[in-house]
């Protein structure tokens, strides 16, 4: 029997109420808190940028400075961590290299060379923001699922958007990825 994994993408202060805040992002926190203990594992992806990251406007990128490593903007909401056993959490940093944009976690991860997912697991993806990091992480995880042999779904109530869920929903429909409801 596989494990149930909640994969929470970039639920960080800068995306909730900081320099790159996503409208209504704070609303996903109660939804995630309500379901987090129904999972065997909770994985958190973290944008973890150096000060000179290529995604920043000052470096020619499209975004304001956000989620600079070791700053308050990278923090997760305390309430989301409350009640979770440390032994059942994993933190996956992305966007760590100055010259590489990395919306998705698990980019370039080989199925045979990873310990995140096993055959039979069920992975539920949610987080911030649906059009960018959630979508790209979902694509990366879905690709791995085909090689490793696990299921993937999306907890839409635990997912914030900049403007629209359309690209996320279209990808889900194209690949027969279901919405997870509780």
DSSP string, 55-86: TBGGGT-SB-S--BTTSGGGPPPHHHHTT--G
> Tokens 């760590």 — which residue?
96
Dump pLDDT digits (tens) for 26-74: 999 999 999 999 999 999 999 999 999 999 999 999 999 999 999 999 9
Q: How far apart are CA 171 and CA 151, in angstroms?
A: 15
CATH no. for residue 132?
A: 3.40.50.850
For residue 157, pLDDT over 80 is answered with yes
Label the pairing between strands 122-128 and 89-94: unpaired
Residue 87: domain span: 4-179
Q: How far apart are CA 11 and CA 80, in angstroms?
A: 9
pTM here? 0.97
pLDDT of residue 1: 75
pLDDT of residue 21: 98
Q: Which two tokens stand for residue 58?
A: 């000052």
Residue 23's pLDDT band, with cuts at 50, 70 and 90, is: very high
Residues catalogued as catalytic: 10, 47, 49, 55, 66, 94, 101, 129, 133
Q: How many domains does the chain have?
A: 1
Q: What is the mean pLDDT of residues 78-87?
A: 96
């Amino acid at each position: 029997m596989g494990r149930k994994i909640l994969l929470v993408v970039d639920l960080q202060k800068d995306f909730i109420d900081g320099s790159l805040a996503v409208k209504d992002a704070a609303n996903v926190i109660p939804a995630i808190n309500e379901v987090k203990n129904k999972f065997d594992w909770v994985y958190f992806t973290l944008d973890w940028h150096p000060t000179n990251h290529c995604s920043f406007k000052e470096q020619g990128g499209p975004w304001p400075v956000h989620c600079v490593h070791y700053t308050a903007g990278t923090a997760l909401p305390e309430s989301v961590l409350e009640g979770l056993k440390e032994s059942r959490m994993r933190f996956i940093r992305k966007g760590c290299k100055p010259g590489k944009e990395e919306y998705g976690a698990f980019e370039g991860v080989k199925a045979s060379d990873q310990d995140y997912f096993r055959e039979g697991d069920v992975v539920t993806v949610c987080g911030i923001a649906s059009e960018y990091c959630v979508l790209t992480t979902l694509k990366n995880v879905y690709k791995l699922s085909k090689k490793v042999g696990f299921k993937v779904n999306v907890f839409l109530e635990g997912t914030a958007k900049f403007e629209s869920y359309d690209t996320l929903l279209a990808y889900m429909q194209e690949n027969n990825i279901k919405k997870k409801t509780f």
